[in-house]
Amino acid sequence: MGDQATLASDYATGVLSKDIPTEFERIRLLQDWIDPETRAVISQIGLDPRWRCLEIGAGAGSVATWLADQCDLGSVTAVDIDTRFLNGMERPNLRVMQGDISALDYEPCSFDLIHARLTFCHLPSRNEVLAKAVRWLAPGGWLVIGDLFSLPEDFSTYELRRRFLGGMAKLYLAQGADMAWAPTIPARMGQAGLRDIGTRALANSVGDGGAYDRFSVVNTRQHCAYLVERGLLTADEMQELLVQLEDPAFVELRTITVYAWGRREPR
């Protein structure tokens, strides 16, 4: 792959931009895959219907609307850098806010639950935002973060896949993402002062016919197209990669979902 391609330096204009025609379908399939895990993690800490919630990186709104229904006596603030997929969500206790969470600020003790999913890994200032989120928590409030740990491309046994995954790594690095950050979340929560920290991890494979696999097909197509446009992959290689995903013999462990949660100590 060449080294002279012009790559986006921010999330909003990069390979996951909402200007890309397949991005809504990609997010919808992402929700289908990970929503059950997200709901299980949040439910186990014990949702209170009166909670004030902050959803960081709200995407297409599946978690924000679910939280609004669960916390019907409280409120939900759904934040995203681009809110076009949140249009039309109707809940009396749901507020949609467009903005970069790295630049936003809230009063201390504003929220009883703060949740972010597959968002912090894409924030160049992720550790600073985590520290701010802890300040935004009310005493006894919970911070819940889920992110992906992407296995290094060298773990693949397929040469073309290794090249493709290396290209993806270049795209994310240019945008300031860190796909190896997720395993550090529990320790960072503890260092930020949270307690009662818990973790949950789930391995995700491509080629097994599951929900993550269905998401990966669209995700791969979108990343391939971006790489082809920038000369980092050929159209023939893109087609070969997509055909490979349909091969019954193909299966590959690709990522690990890491969820961690911690509680601000009550006064």
- pLDDT-derived band at 5 (thresholds 50, 70, 90) equals low
At residue 209, does pLDDT exceed 80?
yes
Q: Give the residue-averaged pLDDT of 50-75.
A: 98
At residue 3, does pLDDT exceed 60?
no
Q: Give the residue-averaged pLDDT of 49-63.
A: 98
User: How many angstroms separate the Cα of 21 from the Cα of each of 18, 45, 211, 226?
Assistant: 7, 37, 21, 12
Element of type H or E holding 204: strand 195-206
Look at the domain 11-263 and name its fold. Rossmann fold (3.40.50)
Going by their DSSP bridges, the two strands 52-56 and 111-117 should be labelled as parallel
Q: Give the residue-averaged pLDDT of 169-178.
A: 93
- pTM for this predicted structure: 0.95
